[in-house]
Amino acid sequence: MLQARDHARVVSDRVWRPCRGAVALRTPTSRHLGSVSTQDSLTTVAECTFGGNTDLRSDLTYRPSVRPGLEQGRCGSMPDRPALIWLSRRGEGSKLAGGSAVASICPKLPRVGHDGRMRLLILGGTWFLGRALGEAAFEQGWSVTTFNRGVSAFDLPGVQVIRGDREQPGDWSRLAEHGPWDAVIDTIGYVPSQVLAGAKALEPVMGRYVFLSSVNVYTGWPNEPLNDVSPVFDCPPDADADFGADLGYAGQYGALKAGCERAVVETIGTDRATVLRPGVILGPNEYVGRLTWWLARAERGGHLLAPGPPERPIQPIDVRDVARFAMRCATGRQNGSFNLTAPVGHATFADLVSACIDTTGADTEPVWVDPSWLVERGVQQWTELPLWRTHSGVWNVDSSRATEEGLRCRPLATTVADTWSWMTAGGAAVTGSGEASRAADHGLATLRELEILRAWTMRA
């Protein structure tokens, strides 16, 4: 049983140092927020402001002088915000983590783990964007937890893996027991009722929530130019998977994503939630089969059917640029929703085709074919010829709000080259059911391409 004297005292100085029976936390200004005691543990939490510099990573180095048996941690190191600091003593056999006590005292505040690193929970984390997020977070020295079933891809080395199924409500509460986290980035939300269950369970043990949505939430996509305030589908935040079945695949996907957005924002609050709406994402580990198909086709050589006009603007975004921006939102205060596409005018279809040909070094020659003629021949846009779509709004998405908040997009040629490097190094996209089965829908069969090209040449 711990004694009262084991309580950490909060005093107004700047260093950690041991004192009789406990430790003292000294900072220029600090406010005691509360203590939590259980039969065999005590945790004290203080809110601390470090003069003009609230970045704890540079401002305060934890002293190894903390007494054995005492844990220490800091929670929240956002610019201009006070940081939270906790001290905890655990008795033998105690399972209480200091961070959990902090969560109960200050459930609304962002926090980092007891080792001072930013703690990120990625819902998903093993296929494409989630993988890029994990890699980028490691580069930043963050501590990363992933939540997935562990059935379709391998885990990133070094992550804390929590197995669970988004369809099982009990798995969300089990996941929450492993918190707290500074931020959650959700790449696996497709059904509002599931996202709602997850957000409710995680809300008390997290700082910020970044939800990966899609430009498909806009009712005007792909027919109209879009900005961040264009109208979105109306979908309840507790809708089930069958909502919007009459809207077709893309419409239902968009409507459900709109419901997921509501589930997140209404549960977490507008001050802690960010919604990201990417357009097409490309890059290493892509499983949809868009750029990977164009690269494989370019490598095959010969006459390549290219849907005109070559100067058609396109706005795919690199998966690593999405990841970086999501991480920015996880640590900042970018509330609200952001379109995530490369800027209009970033690249053209000709840039894509020539980058694929140049990168593969194959003897391939594009034959630019009139798009209306292709439509008349029944060539399926978006799938048979990936990334090709004639609708006027498809590549007319305004992402300037994200650009103002720091989104930076690398050149398309870099995305193409890096994806090819990944493919030639033996990289294979995840395959399976659901989302992971989409590659089978993409690409034009070789014989069909030959027939179309022959008909195009003979048309006169």
CA distance 409 to 222: 22
From start to end of 16-59, where are the E strands? 16-19, 22-26, 29-38, 41-49
CA 349 to chain centre: 27
For the CB of residue 255, give the shortest distance to ligand NAP in the complex, in Å: 13
Least distance in angstroms from the C-beta of 212 to ligand NAP: 4
Which of 26, 117, 149, 200 binds ligand NAP (CB under 6 A)? It is 149
Q: By rule CB under 6 A, what string of x and - marks binding of each residue 281-310 to ligand NAP?
A: x------x----------------------
124 contributes a contact to ligand NAP by CB under 6 A: yes
User: Of 32-40, 54-62, 77-85, 147-155, which part binds ligand NAP (CB under 6 A)?
Assistant: 147-155
Residue 351 Cβ, how far from ligand NAP at the closest point, in Å? 18
3-state class of 173 per DSSP? Answer: helix
Stretch that binds ligand NAP, among 8-16, 164-172, 173-181, 421-429 (CB under 6 A): 164-172
- The structure tokens 């079945």 sit at 245
C-alpha neighbours within 13 Å on the C-beta side of residue 371: 16
Residues binding ligand NAP: what is the number (CB under 6 A)? 26
Which region, judged by CB under 6 A, interacts with ligand NAP, from 53-61, 125-133, 353-361, 407-415?
125-133
> How far apart (Å, rounded) are the C-alpha atoms in residues 127 and 135?
12
| Residue 232 sits in the site that holds ligand NAP (CB under 6 A) | no
Nearer to ligand NAP, 250 or 455 (CB): 250
435 touching ligand NAP, by CB under 6 A: yes
- What counts of helices (H) and strands (E) characterise the chain? 13, 22
User: Which span (35-43, 195-203, 280-288, 384-392) binds ligand NAP, by CB under 6 A?
Assistant: 280-288
CA 112 to each of CA 57, 144, 186, 206, 345: distance values in angstroms, whole numbers, following the listed order: 11, 11, 18, 10, 40
Cβ partners under 8 Å of residue 222, min gap 6 = 389, 391, 393, 394
What is the side-by-side order of every strand in the sheet holding 9-11?
9-11, 22-26, 16-19
CA distances from 184 to 106, 146, 176 (A): 17, 10, 11
- CA separation (Å) from 404 to 117, 133, 211, 245, 399? 27, 21, 19, 36, 9
Distance CA 128, CA 319 (A): 8
Phi, psi of 77 (to 5 degrees): -135, 40
Binding ligand NAP by CB under 6 A: which of 44, 54, 126, 145? 126
Nearer to ligand NAP, 22 or 397 (CB): 397
The single residue among 48, 83, 188, 264 that binds ligand NAP, judged by CB under 6 A, is: 188
- Write down the least CB distance from residue 358 to ligand NAP, Å: 23
3-state DSSP: the chain helix, strand, coil percent, rounded to 5?
35, 25, 40
**CA–CA dist 404, 251 (Å, integer):** 29
C-beta closer to ligand NAP: residue 90 or 131: 131
Q: Between 128 and 325, whose beta carbon lies closer to ligand NAP?
A: 128
218 binds ligand NAP (CB under 6 A): no
Binding mask 311-350 for ligand NAP (x = CB under 6 A): ----------------------------------------
Asked if 167 interacts with ligand NAP (CB under 6 A), we say yes
CB of 397 to ligand NAP, least distance (A): 11
Q: Does 268 bind ligand NAP (CB under 6 A)?
A: no
Based on CB atoms, which residue is closest to ligand NAP, 144 or 280?
280
Is residue 250 near ligand NAP by the rule CB under 6 A? no
CA dist., res. 352 & res. 230, Å (int): 28
Contacts of 339 (CB under 8 A, 6+ apart): 215, 226, 227, 228, 277, 278, 279, 397, 398, 399, 401, 402
40 near ligand NAP, judged by CB under 6 A = no
Nearest residue to the partner ligand NAP, using Cβ: 130
- Cβ atoms of 217 and 190 within 8 Å: the answer is no
The only residue of 114, 166, 320, 324 in contact with ligand NAP, by rule CB under 6 A:
166
Which residue, among 105, 110, 24, 45, has the nearest Cα to 75 in the 3D structure?
110
Q: Please tell me whether residue 173 binds ligand NAP under the rule CB under 6 A.
A: no
What are the residues binding ligand NAP (CB under 6 A)? 124-131, 148-153, 165-167, 187-188, 212, 214, 278, 280-281, 288, 435
